[in-house]
Amino acid sequence: MFKYLRLSITDRCNFRCIYCMPEEGICLKQHSEILRYEELLPIVEVAVKTGVEQVRITGGEPLVRCGIVGFVADLAKIEGLKDLCLTTNASRLSEMAEELKKAGLGRVNISLDSLNQHTFRKITRLGDLDKVLAGIYAAVEAGFEPVKLNVVIIPGLNDGEITDFAGFARDNPVHVRFIERMPFPGAGNNTEYFSETRVREIIGKSFELIEAPGGDSFGPSRNYQVKGGKGFIGFISPRTRPFCESCRRLRLTSDGYLLPCLDSTMGVMVRGMAADDLEKVIAELFANKKAWHKNQACFKSTFDSSLSKIGG
């Protein structure tokens, strides 16, 4: 069955990252269309009952939604949930990291596509690098382990910073993960990407990577330690090393659609659905997903065009 649930709690975001959404933003849902926290909790409880062990809170940007700390505390109480984490752009994390940790959040993933203020602004369109870095350091200080930094290398924008990111992983107790850009229609026509092979070749000129023991049991990242350093480097490569066959992820959009795949062309509306019926839907989605025998994402006919609207 599914082991991992990505839980989108909002379609709002205070960034406009070029690989995630159009510059003008997206057509936002009415607040009445977004699931309330008290509606989300029973859905998660049923998902955990069916076998889900990890829940990742996403958005949009989840930290822009009011009441997030209390919601984390409620999720953390669900019996059987082994791992509770959150993906964020970290723009508000410096002021919330300690509260989130105390509430029961286990880990954070942070989007960080440049260490240069000008480039960072160009990629995010609205982001402030200093606030994001403050959020990263606050997450480390609060005791989140590991703190994962997701980096999408975009040719002509941040491809000159690959060695800088490797150095950041050497100098800080974080996991820097290079993710191949996914060509979603809502992000525009530019779908050029840097392959894992190219990134590793560049890193290898300055750093030695040692294969890390164990691994991420819930995700596709292949992880390495920077020799002589504090942190790790990982690679997530949906285009050159697809991992669809091993995927056991389920997604819930902020307005209540369950998706068996990021690449799905359909979703099942589960808002207000009885627990027994929801269990059946989850089982059916899993059976259908396994029956696809899918080994490569197409990124063309998705349930929604924008990563922000799907939940990242």
Q: Which of 20-29, 85-94, 291-300 has the highest mean pLDDT?
A: 85-94
User: Which long-range contacts does 199-205 make (Cβ < 8 Å, 24+ apart)?
Assistant: 199/153, 199/162, 199/235, 200/235, 202/162, 202/163, 203/162, 203/163, 203/166, 203/233, 205/163
Q: What is the predicted pLDDT for the residue at 244? A: 79
With bands split at pLDDT 50, 70 and 90, how would you rate the model's confidence at 262? confident
Are the C-beta atoms of 282 and 42 separated by less than 8 Å?
A: no
Closest CA to 292 of 244, 253, 235, 227: 244
Mean pLDDT of 27-51: 93
Residues 232, 189: Cα–Cα separation, whole Å:
32
Closest CA to 5 of 75, 70, 64, 63: 75
* Averaged confidence pLDDT in the chain: 89
Question: Distances from the Cα of 35 to the Cαs of 62, 206, 281, in angstroms?
Answer: 13, 48, 18
Q: What is the predicted pLDDT for the residue at 91? A: 96
CATH of the domain at 70: 3.20.20.70
Full domain range(s) for residue 287: 4-310
Contacts of 290 (CB under 8 A, 6+ apart): none
Residues 228, 217: Cα–Cα separation, whole Å:
25
Are the C-beta atoms of 194 and 180 separated by less than 8 Å?
A: yes
SS3 at position 123 = helix
The count of structural domains within the chain is: 1
Mean pLDDT of 240-263: 88
pLDDT above 50 for 305: no
- What is this structure's pTM? 0.90
Percent pLDDT > 90 in the chain is 68
In tens, the pLDDT along 169-216 reads 999 999 999 998 877 555 455 577 889 999 999 999 999 999 987 655
